[in-house]
Every structure is written in C-alpha cells, then in structure tokens.
Amino acid sequence: MADNAHLLLCNGATLARAARSWSNAHTQELRTGDGGNVRIEIPLLAKSLSANVPDVFADLAEIAAFVYSADQAIARSGTVTFDYGDRWIRRLRFEIAVRCPDFWNQPEVSECLIEALGFMTEDAYEFRFTKNQTPIAFERFLGFGESNPEGIEKVMLFSGGIDSLAGAVEEILHNGKKVALVSHWPVSHLGSRQDKLASTVASRVSNLDRRPLHYKVLANKIGEIDHEHTQRSRSFLFSSIASVVARIFGIDGIDFFENGVVSVNLPLCEQEKNGRASRTTHPQTIHRLEELLSHVAGRRFSVKNHFLPYTKQDVVEKLATFGHADLLSESISCTHTRGFTLEQPHCGLCSQCLSRKFATAGANLDAHDPDSKYRADVFIGERPRTVDRTLAERFVGAAREIEMMTDRREFQQLFANELGRVTPYLPGANKDIVGMLFELHHRHSVQVGAVIEDKMKRNISSYRQGFLARTSTLWFAFELAKGGAASDNGEPQVGGHRDGDIREQVGLLNEMQRCILQALLEKDVTDPEIDELPSQRMVAEWAGYPYDTSIKNELTALVKMQLLGNGKQHGRRGGYYLKGRGVQAAKLLCEATRAGFKTFSGR
Amino acid sequence: MGTKEYDRLPKTPPFRRVVAVIGSGAGFSGTPGVSPGSLAAIADATLDASLDGLQRAKSDDGLAYALFLLTQITQAARQEDFLAALHGLGLPSPKVNVAAPLSDVATADYDIHDLVASFTTAVDRQLRRDQSRTDIGEMAQQAAAESLVALCSPRSETLFGSSLETVKDALYSLSTKKGFATLTQDFFARLTRRYLLYHLSRELSNHVGSDRRFKSIDEHNAFIRQLDDHCRVCSHMVRRFAGEWYSKHNWEGGITPRKAQGFAAHAIDKMQFALKQKGADDGG
C-alpha cells in the first residue's frame, strides 16, 4: 500500500474483507460522542430541535466531521521536494458506521460524495458504510439555544470575511430577510470576531423579531488540528452542517457569498496544480454539493453562490453602497493564526490578505481597513520567504497578463482546462460563460492595476530614497512602471533611483558614454515627445565621435542601463532622449566637469 | 477562503545550478562558478535537475490518457454522428451535467469550449476513477485543452459564429497525418513549457527587480512567452514522427492508451534531446 494511503475506521466500523489490501495502510480510528476523538457541537441550537433532523442528515453531519478531521490530521507532506503530487494527493478510505448505510451505499449517492470531495480536495476517496447499532442521539450535538426560532427565510454561510459580511448586509439589512448565519468555528479568536460581527449586523436591525440568528459549529479532531492546514474539505463540513440547520428550519437551500475571482481561483503560476488553489466555492463544488444535498434531502436542495459575477472590489463597493463600509474593520479575511492579535488580525502576506487589501484600497476604503491591522504591510512590507514573494509578484503579474488581453480568446486558450471545469456547472451557453468570466477577470486585473498605480504615486519618495523593501509587492510593481505608470514628472520610473546608485553607475561609465549623456543634456533632449529625436548619427556628431559601430554599441548599452530612451519604445520613428535617470547622471557628470575632476570617481 | 499553496525550490545541487543560471535573486544563492545563462540554458538546467520527473512522465497514466483521448476525438470528427462518437469516448454532451435535458443541447451554438469542457470532464472522471491523478497528468490535461482551443478555435469560428459542424470540421483537419503532426507538436510544446515552469515558478519571482534578470514583471511575463517559443522550436522533432505513428497505428488495429503511452515516452525523449541540444548550442 502506498505511503499516502490512509484508512479511517469511524464509529467502530471495521475494514471490509474485500478491501484487505488496505490493512497495511496508516490507520486511524475516529469516533464521535462521549470519549470520542471527533467533536461536533452546535451549541446554540436547542436539543428540542433535534426531532427535526432526519437520520440521513445526522449521518451527513457525522460523515462531514470525520472527513474534515481526517483532512486536518493527515499531512500532505512532500511539498518542498518534487514528487509530482505523490504525497500531496492522499488516498483515503473511510469505513463508517452510520444510521442509514443502505442510503449511503447507493452507487449514485456514494459516487456523488466521492466526486464532490475528490474535486474539492483532489484526494482519492473510497467509502463503505455499515450499520451503526448504537448511534448517538443527534440531540447530544446540540445545546441550549432558542427552541423555536420562527420566520427564518434563509440559511447562509458566514465566515466573517468581507464577502460573507457583504452577503449578510445585503440579505439582512438591505433586503430585510430573516437569516440564520452559520459559521464554522475553527479557532477561538476567529470565533469571537465572527460573533462580534454578527452581533453588530444584528444590532442594525431595528425590528427585534427580524434580527439574524448566529449558529457556530465546532467540528474537529480533538487535540490534533494542526497537522494539515490546507483543509480543502472545509466547505463540505461547513455546508453539511448548514444544511442540517436549514433542514431544522424547513428551508431547502443554503447560500454562499464569495466573489467570482476567488471562487474560480485560476492559477497564478504553474506550480498551482491539483488543488494547490482551493476550490471552496468553485462553481463545480457548489454544483456537486447541491447534487449530494439533494440526494440527502430527497428533493431539490439548492446551494448557491450569489457573488459569482463580482470581483472582491465590487463586493466591497457593494457594502459601501449599502452604507455599512464601517463594518469592514470588524471583518477578518486571514486565517493564519501565527502571530494573531486583536489589534493586528491580518498577516498581510497570504492570498486572502492580498486580495482583501487590494479590494479595500481600490474602493478607496483604506480608512476602514487600515494598514495598522496588518502585521506586514501588503504593499510595502518585507516578504522574507520565497513563497510570499512569489504570491505577490504573480498576483500582480497574472493580473497584468490578463489586463493586456484584448479579447476572450487568449483567456480561453490559456485557462482552457480550468474553464472546462467551470462552464458545465453554470447555466447558459458555455461560450457566454467564458465571456462573462473573461470580463470578470479582466475587470479584476484593471482594478489591481489601478491600485498599483495609486500606491506607486504615494510611495514614490520612499522608492527613490531607497526605503522601499526590495522584497515588497510594490517593489515588483515599481518595476512594472516601465510599461507606463506615472512618476512625478510623468516619466516611467525604472530601476533604483537612489542618488548613491546613480553615482555608482556613473562611475562605471566609459568616456564615450559620458560624452553622449552630456551632449544630450546640453541639447536638452529629455522629452520623448519632442518633434525630432536625434538619430545615432546626430548623437555621434554632438558627442564628437565618428559614426561607427562603437557609438552604436554604446547607445544600446545606455538604453539597457535605463539612462537613455528610444523613441521606438513610444511607437515613434526612433531617436534617443535622456530618461529621468539619465538626466541625473548627466548632471552629475557636468558638476564633476565644472569642479575640475578629470574622472568621475563615484564619490 | 481562496488560498494557494506555493513552495520554493529544493536546495539540491542541481536546483542550485538552476538558480545560478537564472541569475542573482533574492532567494538562496546558486552554485559558485556558474553564471547567468540564456533561456535555453535555463531550460536545460531545469531538465537536468528534474530527470526524475521526466522518467515519471513517460509512464504517467494521466499524460497517456490525455494524449490517447486527443487521438480518439480527432478520429471522432470522421464519424457522421460526431456527438455520439464523442459520447462513446466518455465525453459528456454539453451541459449534460446540469439539469438541462440532452435535447436542450443547442448544436447550432456549439463552440470549441463545449468540446474542451467535455474533454476536461472525461479526463477528470477517468483519473478520479483510476485514482491516478498526478501533477504531470494535470499538466498534460492543461496542455491538451490549450492545444484544442489554439488549433480549433481559429478554424471553427466563422463570420456567423461557430457550430457543431464548424468545430467538427476544425477537428477533422487535425485527423489527417499532417494535422495530427501539428496537434502533437503543439501539445508537446505546451506540455514542456508547463513542465519547465512547474519547477521554475518556484524561483522566477526572486529574479524580478531593477538589478535582477527580469527588470520588470512584464519581462517575467515575456520570459514565459519566450519559453513557449523555445519549446515550440524544440518540438519540431516530435512533429517529424507523430504523423507517421498516428496513421500507422490507426490502420493497425487502432490506438490504445498503452500505445499512446509508448508514443509519449518516445516523444519525451525527443523533446529532452532537442532541449539539451539547444541548450548546448546557446552556450548553456
């Protein structure tokens, strides 16, 4: 049996004879209830409501808890060395004793379960269900909440991040719906923030009867929650428990609110293979969950993501339009717990923080999402680890690539396979969906570009003075300015502009190069827009050298050094001009000449 | 929600050499005595550092299945009932996964993306069923889908849009000896680019900056495009024998996944040879 194979024996089930090959696999026993090692608690749901929970739903909650616990407890090791997915992709066999084994062993049901989990996590699953002769009464998982919450119209999943907050505001405060918010409570500090946010939203509903109810779910393997942080099966647990809550209230559906860019989660670079990018609210995940939950409910059970057509910035703007932008400061997007403090809940390095900060900055709502809440500044903070640098550089780089695309064809080609995993699961003609997704991602890319430009303008001085961290997001972005982002004199800024750097560079120039720079400064050729930029021959003449290969080579070298620009870079006939850095270099040379130095020492 | 898992390169001597050949960066240092090299040299060093991956690619079931399916769907374009032929290969009809009944399949609105979505679904199903998914299989699946769009899209889109017939015609043109050679070359070029970047993407961002190999993010993006061109040039060797292989085996009892795997192994050897040769020619 392969090293990545794991056998999970749940609630006393034993390995089937037909699956003996699994007897050599790493084996764990999981059990709910008293003395068990898997916890399920919905403390604010009253025990009396358990009568509304059919056995198949009770099974679903336990199955989800077992799968999630295994997902947490079994490490996807082998990520640094290249094993091409061998240990990232786990093989998991679950033997589970349940209340309704005949239902779960139906091929169409178990296939649905395997397909849904397989897509979400990219692990390979096998399930066999046997009869649990002594199942735990479901009421044991419940607590002492309100026993008769009437009038609930919607059950929505509430993570406490920006998207679910905006969804809650839209449904509760804007549409006036009475909503049950269901949260998974993975760590205590996040749970308390979710509580506070839900309470604040509730406090803005004047009619007490219409206030939302907030149900937190605790589900994990006791004492072993940190072996694997990726938790790709989390939305299965989340939606399974939410469906139980929905069933209790007689509602046939649950609602997600997550922006389309994050939901589809296209790869930013080639190392993102096989679930390295999460698929929590991917359209296929949503579809497969709907299919599975409909089987469990015995009728159509809807699972919807209402924010698929929006970018995160769109969602933030929506929140502002509803007049509740101030709630942004209470929301938490980052799930990294290391170093967490109430004052600085966001790490500033992960993909959620990047996505959040670009969105709030793009919507001009920095004031409600201040930099001080981030342990590392998203734009100008150091990114000491390669993985964090790669994430920031590719976040901007991929957006840049998509922004340059002129129509959906390039997008469709580059992401053909990823789009092929989306379109069959959304209504409408495939080509229209591809068009919608291209527009969505293009809009996101333009939004990212605008934020970058704005941040560059604000940080130009620290960049020039050499204070900008050379591993920061903005450092990469400043280099992007070659393509046309503005500096204070309107010229693209490329390369370090610290005075010391320029002096050093000037000190390395040869005589011919110096003469060229000084000649161009003397003729005041510093603007690419002037009518007639000097040709190579003319520059040679001004600099006092013969027009030959040497001067051509030196001109090319000066362009590469970013001291000279060429009109061709601006779509013109050609000809040379001094770039901002070249002007500074030429001025230094002139000063040195005036001071009587024969050579420029760089000091 | 919306997380991504990245890693850095292993600190083994072959990968240290890759870092050195890319140039100075903000990551760990490279190998003493090795200086920055050309794109071809980078590709060559990456191949050297990932020989294990190349060996595994030759026997990867996902790669073999994606290639096998390409051979079969081109043949399906020769059948009168194209959709039925695709269905027989395990490619679901458009929108069959959603509630819409099969009769709702609007063949007049059929688009290359309908074919690609069916292809992706079929490969995903097969690999999940066989529990044979790997990162290499995923690269092959991506390369195959990308090739289908790249080669069929321009031919299937007319002034009046595209339809089942125009997509079928576009695919038919790839079912000839010459057409399949084109498809195979394109597939292996894209697969090789993805394979090289799968490794390099753990390091390239460290080399973006005014004093580094890529002066800007745009230069990094341009490098990725140039790598594609490089792989395309090297894939000419595959083209030479792909057409022959396709027509020979179609006559001799048809192509099987096993035969496709054998062909893939041979093509990978050819690609490896071509990349090494190009690396040496460019002074790598």
Summarised one tens digit per residue, pLDDT across range B87-135 is: 999 999 876 444 444 444 556 678 999 999 999 999 999 999 999 999 9
A506: CB partners within 8 A, 6+ apart: A514, A585, A588, A589, A600, A602
Report the pLDDT value the prediction gives residue A487, as an integer from 0 to 100.
35
Best of A89, A273, A346 to substitute, by most chain B Cβ atoms within 10 angstroms, is: A273
Between the two ends of chain B, the Cα-to-Cα distance in Å is 43
Contact assessment for residue A10 and residue A30, using Cβ atoms and an 8 Å cutoff: yes
Cβ-Cβ contacts under 8 Å, A417 against chain B: 116, 120, 141-142, 144-146
Q: Which tens digits make up the pLDDT trace of B175-223? A: 999 999 999 999 999 999 999 999 999 999 999 987 789 988 999 999 9
Q: Which tens digits make up the pLDDT trace of A91-116? A: 999 999 999 999 999 999 999 999 99
By Cβ distance, the residue of B117, B120, B135 closest to A85 is B135
* A289 pLDDT higher than 50: yes
Per the model's pLDDT, the better-predicted residue between A526 and A196 turns out to be A196
What residue type is A492 in one-letter code?
P
Mean pLDDT, range A413-422, rounded to an integer: 97
Report the pLDDT value the prediction gives residue A488, as an integer from 0 to 100.
34
Q: In chain A, whose CA is at the least distance from the CA of B12?
A: A81
As a whole number of angstroms, the distance between CA A395 and CA A415 comes to 16
Contact assessment for residue B147 and residue A454, using Cβ atoms and an 8 Å cutoff: no
Q: Is B147 helix (H, G, I), strand (E, B) or coil?
A: helix
* Torsion sign across C-alpha atoms B172, B177, B178, B182: positive
Strands A576-578 and A564-566: antiparallel
Q: What residues make up the domain containing A559? A: 499-594
Cβ-Cβ contacts under 8 Å, B10 against chain A: 80-82
Which among A307, A283, A303 is positioned nearest to A295, based on CA atoms?
A: A303
Confidence label for A146 from pLDDT (cuts 50, 70 and 90) = low
Mean pLDDT, range A380-406, rounded to an integer: 94
* Torsion sign across C-alpha atoms A36, A39, A45, A50: negative
Q: How many CB atoms lie within 10 A of CB B157?
A: 18
Token representation of residue A507? 């000190």
Chosen domain end from A96, A115, A141: A141
* A191 pLDDT higher than 90: no
Token representation of residue B37? 């090299």
Number of domains within chain B: 1
Chosen domain end from A78, A110, A141: A141
Min distance B112 CA to chain A CA atoms (Å): 8
Kindly state the percentage of chain A with pLDDT values over 70. 91
Min distance A320 CA to chain B CA atoms (Å): 21
Interchain pair B53, A84: CB under 8 A: yes
As a whole number of angstroms, the distance between CA A283 and CA A278 comes to 12
Cβ-Cβ contacts under 8 Å, A82 against chain B: 10, 50, 52-53, 199
Q: Which tens digits make up the pLDDT trace of A343-384? A: 899 999 999 999 999 999 999 999 999 999 999 999 999 998
B156: CB partners within 8 A, 6+ apart: B111, B112, B162, B166, B167, B169, B170
- Calculate the average pLDDT of chain B: 90
Asked, for residue B5, whether it belongs to a domain, the answer is no
Report CA B245 to chain centroid distance, whole Å.
19
The CA–CA distances, whole Å, from A271 to A412, A445, B26, B145 equal 20, 21, 19, 18
Q: Which tens digits make up the pLDDT trace of B141-188? A: 999 999 999 999 988 988 778 889 999 999 999 999 999 999 999 999
Confidence label for A434 from pLDDT (cuts 50, 70 and 90) = very high
Confidence label for B251 from pLDDT (cuts 50, 70 and 90) = confident
B16: CB partners within 8 A, 6+ apart: B28, B29, B30, B31
Look at A173-182, A282-291, A329-338, A588-597 and tell me which has the smallest mean pLDDT: A588-597
- Dmax over CA atoms of chain A, in Å, equals 99
Cβ-Cβ contacts under 8 Å, A392 against chain B: 205
By Cβ distance, the residue of B116, B128, B204 closest to A416 is B116
Interchain pair A479, B121: CB under 8 A: no
Cβ-Cβ contacts under 8 Å, A79 against chain B: 5, 7
Q: Is A595 helix (H, G, I), strand (E, B) or coil?
A: coil
* A601 pLDDT higher than 60: no
In this structure, what is the dihedral angle of CA atoms B189, B191, B197, B198, given to the nearest 10 degrees?
-170
Min distance A424 CA to chain B CA atoms (Å): 5
Report the pLDDT value the prediction gives residue A486, as an integer from 0 to 100.
31
Confidence label for A447 from pLDDT (cuts 50, 70 and 90) = very high
Asked, for residue A67, whether it belongs to a domain, the answer is yes
Cβ-Cβ contacts under 8 Å, B48 against chain A: none
Between the two ends of chain A, the Cα-to-Cα distance in Å is 68
Strands A179-184 and A154-157: parallel
Mean pLDDT, range B267-272, rounded to an integer: 96
Q: Which residue bears the tokens 């997008």? A: A411
Report the pLDDT value the prediction gives residue A489, as an integer from 0 to 100.
34
Q: What residues make up the domain containing B214? A: 13-281
Q: Which tens digits make up the pLDDT trace of A292-316? A: 999 999 999 999 999 999 999 999 9
Mean pLDDT, range A48-62, rounded to an integer: 91
Confidence label for A78 from pLDDT (cuts 50, 70 and 90) = low
Cβ-Cβ contacts under 8 Å, B26 against chain A: 386, 389, 470-471
Interchain pair B2, A431: CB under 8 A: no
Chosen domain end from A88, A116, A141: A141
Angle between helices B61-76 and B257-281 (to 10 degrees): 110
As a whole number of angstroms, the distance between CA B19 and CA B25 comes to 8
Asked, for residue A213, whether it belongs to a domain, the answer is no
Min distance A274 CA to chain B CA atoms (Å): 7
A364: CB partners within 8 A, 6+ apart: none
Report the pLDDT value the prediction gives residue A13, as an integer from 0 to 100.
96
A492: CB partners within 8 A, 6+ apart: A481, A482, A483, A484, A485, A579
What DSSP character marks residue A136? P
Report the pLDDT value the prediction gives residue A532, as an integer from 0 to 100.
82
Q: How many CB atoms lie within 10 A of CB B210?
A: 19
Per the model's pLDDT, the better-predicted residue between A432 and A568 turns out to be A432
Token representation of residue A65? 């808890």
Cβ-Cβ contacts under 8 Å, A281 against chain B: 1
Interchain pair B7, A387: CB under 8 A: yes
The pTM of the full predicted model, rounded to 2 decimals, is 0.84
Interchain pair B142, A417: CB under 8 A: yes
Q: Which tens digits make up the pLDDT trace of A218-266? A: 888 787 556 778 889 999 999 999 999 999 999 999 999 999 999 999 9
Asked, for residue A576, whether it belongs to a domain, the answer is yes
Report the pLDDT value the prediction gives residue A548, as an integer from 0 to 100.
84
ipTM: 0.94
Asked, for residue A239, whether it belongs to a domain, the answer is no
Report the pLDDT value the prediction gives residue A492, as an integer from 0 to 100.
30
Interchain pair A85, B98: CB under 8 A: no
Which among A69, A52, A136, A70 is positioned nearest to A98, based on CA atoms?
A: A136
Report the pLDDT value the prediction gives residue A342, as an integer from 0 to 100.
83
* A180 pLDDT higher than 50: yes
* A479 pLDDT higher than 90: no
What DSSP character marks residue B162? -
Number of domains within chain A: 2
Q: Which tens digits make up the pLDDT trace of B27-58? A: 777 777 777 889 999 999 999 999 999 999 99
By Cβ distance, the residue of A335, A352, A396 closest to B217 is A396
Backbone angles phi, psi at A305, to 5 degrees: -115, 110
Residue A559's domain is classified under what CATH number? 1.10.10.10
The CA–CA distances, whole Å, from A444 to A102, A358, A449 equal 47, 10, 9
Token representation of residue A265? 């989660």
Asked, for residue B1, whether it belongs to a domain, the answer is no
Kindly state the percentage of chain A with pLDDT values over 90. 61
Q: Which residue bears the tokens 């709910």? A: A32
By Cβ distance, the residue of B1, B135, B206 closest to A274 is B135
**Residues counted in chain A:** 603
Report the pLDDT value the prediction gives residue A163, as an integer from 0 to 100.
98
Cβ-Cβ contacts under 8 Å, A124 against chain B: 128, 131, 133
Report the pLDDT value the prediction gives residue B161, as an integer from 0 to 100.
83
Q: Which tens digits make up the pLDDT trace of A201-212? A: 999 999 988 999
- Calculate the average pLDDT of chain A: 88
Interchain pair B206, A268: CB under 8 A: no
